[in-house]
Chain A
């Protein structure tokens, strides 16, 4: 455990170095475009850019840590935004009820994902792709366009700021802290690492492997639901396609892997994911400041994702001691002495 933590810290450290590098390069590039990267407006726009992907990526981290994937997140976000908007219908009195109902639906979706993955034994990729398609069919059949509307009081969540920091980002960071505490301090958190590392070994060690799998999927869907609510607060109407437009499924997975979490599960943390999300936000901000063609942005994003992950992936492999072959420095010294 100590060894694992030590290495996790290092890999997270690299991620933050890359983030720092991105900020420095971004600041220089923004300066050449004749703007100030560190102006209050720009910083708050970067932080705003992190919040939605942040919510989804935190959830995705939990799901990836357990060795699964969640491709249904964009559809959950859309579903929540539409359901909540319908219930609110512009009346502040309806807000609590609408939020509860919408998040309950998100939780049910997460529960379904978790049960299909853990009990039916379907690969997370297929299970969540399938559930995503089910939701997408439901949305396409029942909603042709934007519906409902969010009252002003609810819209404020998306718009208000404390200093340069948007409230939505603070909520996202709060969720991140809770997720970190859960992973480090609670039983479920430790079980998530154990099951993600090797499900069979975890089972033989006496862990009920279904529980953490279901918990991770449930939390992931809930966080996607929060992202949907935030999207609703920003748009003020529920849109049945808002999640898919953002491409949050693949981008959140990319952010998680960028943050140093192993796609196979069992290794990684939420802090790294936050840095991954921040790297994306800085990149987007810089490209917007430089007025890069929107289609070229995707090209740059694709190249940067692969290149950045390549940096960690190689390091990760190099740093991992082989289980049996390579003797540690102490062993080597002992052998020399003999």
Chain B
């Protein structure tokens, strides 16, 4: 949570800590990125109250496992969003990888390793294409990734004829549906949950590295970041690569239990973006914590589970989801504004510079890359 506090513009001296541990925890929870953890926890409690069966440790842990691919995708999407861009191609990447795994691995166990490597390479390639077209060709990422989505999804459907084909060998599917048994207390730990935890730790570490710091800086103000010596194109391209790699991992996990079909992964990009936004990350970049994005995915899935448990007609789910994200983002926008220290006491120069991002974070254009510049 300290990430959010230390990334405020460095022009003011901020003491390393302010207040005691309790105060800091409370302050963290008051930010949208912290509130989502409370929201997720509250939804978990509510679900358990509504359906006591859900309270069984193995039930909860299996649920967490099911959320893992979405949470991984959300973390990948976070990297792109926090740098001020969008990745709409995520769902198509998931589909492409799932179909690739199904058709190339087949029933041959010896092919698992080379094909997995190939899938990761394809992931890197797609991210690289997205990133380079966005940064070097100056096409807005919304359009680049939309084009990539159309092209990839069309290609997959063309090659498969639009129907389910192939089925990878069971030992490969084990990644998505296998679990370690005989663990004390929780009974089972799904492999996918372990993958998620490892990736979450890696992502949180990465965001504390210079790469992560620069990424947030580039999302907040690309011009400033560029003038401070950041190589914007390579920075953002890496974010796109991480995003499509995370979609690849989500695809590998999804093969395990969703099977191989050109419709697997459809709508993943919007689910991931919704989760990221629910996690208090600002669209337009510059604010938010990567683990809050993952927590956003858990909160979203818990919400769906709760609606199912409460026997809300499944057709109303969309409506509830829509209302929730609007309310959450409206509240988050307010909180980001209130949460920051007042700037009125600053001298007029600082005030003018600070005024634009402070008073209208919501007016930040969708793509703040260098392509938009100061028009």
Contact = CB atoms under 8 A, between A and B. Distances in A.
Contact of A257 (B143, B329, B359): B143
Interface string A113-127: 000110011111111
Contacts of B367: 263-264
Contact of A67 (B88, B138, B363): B363
Which of A129, A263, A301 has the most B CB atoms < 10 Å from its CB? A263
Interface string A258-269: 000011111100
B363 A310 contact: no
B143 A305 contact: yes
A254 B316 CA distance: 30
Nearest to A250: B146
A254 to B, nearest CB: 6
Interface in B63-110: 88
B373 A317 contact: yes
A140 B315 contact: yes
B355 A264 contact: no
B284 interface: yes
A302 B364 contact: no
From B274, B283, B329, name the one whose CB has the most chain A CB atoms within 10 angstroms.
B329
Given A121-B333, A313-B137, A264 B365 contact: yes
Q: Interface majority SS on A: helix, strand, loop or mixed? A: helix
B143 A309 contact: yes
B320 A137 contact: yes
Contacts of B158: 293, 295-296, 299
Range of interface residues on B (Cβ < 8 Å): 35 or more
B151 A126 contact: no
Contacts of A317: 138, 370-371, 373
Interface in B316-346: 316-323, 325-326, 329-330, 333-334
Contacts of B313: 141
A309 B359 contact: no
Given A122-B330, A302-B147, A264 B375 contact: yes
Given A121-B362, A141-B316, A310 B137 contact: yes
B155 interface: yes
B368 A264 contact: yes
A253 B155 CA distance: 22
Contacts of A250: 88, 146
A321 to B, nearest CB: 11
B333 A306 contact: no
Nearest to A310: B137
Contact of A306 (B143, B318, B356): B143
A125 B277 CA distance: 10
Contacts of B366: 69, 123-125, 263-264
A159 interface: no
A302 B148 contact: yes
Contacts of A300: 154
A297 interface: yes
B146 A313 contact: no
A120 B337 CA distance: 12
A197 B363 CA distance: 10
Given A254-B146, A266-B375, A314-B137, A120 B154 contact: no
A91 interface: no
Contacts of B144: 306
Given A138-B319, A310-B139, A126 B162 contact: no
A303 interface: yes
Given A129-B274, A310-B137, A140 B318 contact: yes
A133 B318 contact: yes
B365 A263 contact: yes
Given A69-B366, A298-B150, A302-B150, A134 B322 contact: yes
A96 interface: no
A199 interface: yes
B101 to A, nearest CB: 20
5 closest Cβ contacts across the A-B interface?
Answer: A137-B319, A298-B154, A133-B322, A302-B150, A302-B151
Interface of B: 88, 133, 137-140, 142-144, 146-155, 157-158, 162, 270, 273-274, 277, 283-284, 313, 315-323, 325-326, 329-330, 333-334, 355-356, 359-368, 370-375
Interface of A: 67, 69, 116-117, 120-127, 129-134, 136-138, 140-141, 197-200, 250, 253-254, 257, 262-267, 293, 295-303, 305-306, 309-310, 313-314, 316-317, 320, 323
Given A117-B362, A132-B322, A317-B370, 10 more contacts: A121-B362, A126-B277, A131-B326, A136-B322, A253-B142, A263-B142, A295-B155, A306-B148, A313-B139, A317-B371
5 contacts: A123-B329, A129-B325, A132-B322, A295-B157, A309-B139
